[in-house]
A and B are shown apart, each in its own frame.
Chain A
Amino acid sequence: MAVKVHIHTTHRQHTNGLDVVPVEGITVGECLNQLVRQFPGMEKALFAKKDKLLNVVEVYVNHASAHPNELAKSVQDGDEIHLLVMLAGG
């Protein structure tokens, strides 16, 4: 059983349209690194630079905010990571 990463609508252009991508890892950071290895376009969608998420990206693990220190958050098989984007429109 892997960790499921739920991809934000605006990022699915980088994952061949997939909205859920299974990955392996024991931290959010490892999982996202594997996501990027599978879909290199996700790197610029998620990261400002190595190990630093873009400020607009929000990470939730099992529907709970992983902020702060998102990348260090532990995960285990069966967990779900949701990647959201901060919205600003009104």
Chain B
Amino acid sequence: MVGMLTPMERERYDRQIMIGELGQEGQERLKRSRVAIAGAGGLGSPIAIYLTAAGIGRIRVIDPDEVALSNLNRQILYWEEDIGRKKVDSARAKLRRLNSAVEIETIPETITKDNVSDLVGECDVIVDGMDNLPTRYIMNRCAVEKKIPFFHGAVNGFEGRVMTIIPGETACLRCMYRGQVPQEKFPVIGVVPAVIGSLQAAEVIKYLIGIGKLLTNRLLIYDGLKATFTEFRVSKNPVCDHCGSAALP
């Protein structure tokens, strides 16, 4: 039967199946799930690693880039020998070695408003691993229109943020939009996307199993310098142009 665990899977996931809120049923739900990770960089790397380790059935990794030396301080899916290689190819090879039972799909394409629906449309959730706001908004709009939960994360320097978006129910990323911002190279150290990506992966797992309390209408800010987490409340914007009255039909 689809989603039933094999004996090897029961052994592999034994320690998380022991968690009362997860159990075998939860593990089977993870196995039946399909996750799109948009971006395989600093955030996408830990997201992909931890969702693969947790036993998500199908993971789709979307990223057009090749590995560069300056990626290696944070993009832990890639090693020195991968420089010049397509990120999705390296990601697939590493993730398959981590967990051969997980189906890894790879798409070496740039996400645009014209292709986004095809890239993520069949997935249960979309995880934000992007490195710029315009593409995040393309993903957000698609998630809202297709009613696919969207797990936002972003970093800069020693700071990061996480929020979970359930279209139709919660604030979306665009609810806080105030206008275009300049695109710049951003400073970041690997431990920060590690924290944020792990939190995003945790949110995905909780959502797919239906446990815990999600970061919905809750913006969690991580200050790595002070080692603090601070939570802020966010509300749906009734005139949001993605999820509110100003949204195009």
List chain A positions with a Cβ less than 8 A from chain B: 9-10, 53-56, 58, 60, 63-65, 67-68, 82, 84-90
B197-245 at interface with A (beta carbon < 8 Å): 219, 221, 223, 225, 230-235, 237, 239
* Contact present for A89 and B232 (CB under 8 Å): no
Enumerate 27 A-B pairs (CB-CB under 8 Å) in ascending A order: A9-B225, A10-B157, A55-B180, A56-B181, A63-B231, A64-B235, A65-B176, A65-B233, A65-B234, A67-B175, A67-B176, A67-B237, A82-B232, A86-B133, A87-B154, A87-B155, A87-B161, A88-B131, A88-B156, A88-B181, A89-B156, A90-B39, A90-B42, A90-B131, A90-B132, A90-B154, A90-B155
Q: Known contacts A9-B157, A9-B159, A58-B176: does B181 contact A86 (CB below 8 Å)?
A: yes
B172-208 at interface with A (beta carbon < 8 Å): 175-176, 178-181, 183, 186-188, 193
Specify which chain B residues have a CB less than 8 angstroms from the CB of A89 in the assembled complex: 42, 131, 154-156, 186-188, 193
Q: Which residue of B lies closest to A56 (CB)?
A: B181
A-B CB pair tally, cutoff 8 Å: 83
Expressed in whole angstroms, the Cα–Cα distance for A87 and B161 within the complex equals 8
Number of residues of chain B lying within 8 A (CB) of chain A: 44
Q: Which residue of A lies closest to B224 (CB)?
A: A9
B5-52 at interface with A (beta carbon < 8 Å): 39, 41-44
Q: Which of A9, A53, A58, A86 sits near B223, CB closer than 8 Å? A: A9
Q: Known contacts A9-B223, A64-B233, A68-B237: does B178 contact A88 (CB below 8 Å)?
A: no
Q: Which residue of B lies closest to A64 (CB)?
A: B233
* Contact present for A55 and B179 (CB under 8 Å): yes
Specify which chain B residues have a CB less than 8 angstroms from the CB of A84 in the assembled complex: 221, 232
* Contact present for B221 and A90 (CB under 8 Å): no
Expressed in whole angstroms, the Cα–Cα distance for A57 and B188 within the complex equals 19
For residue B129, CB closer than 8 A to chain A, the reply is yes
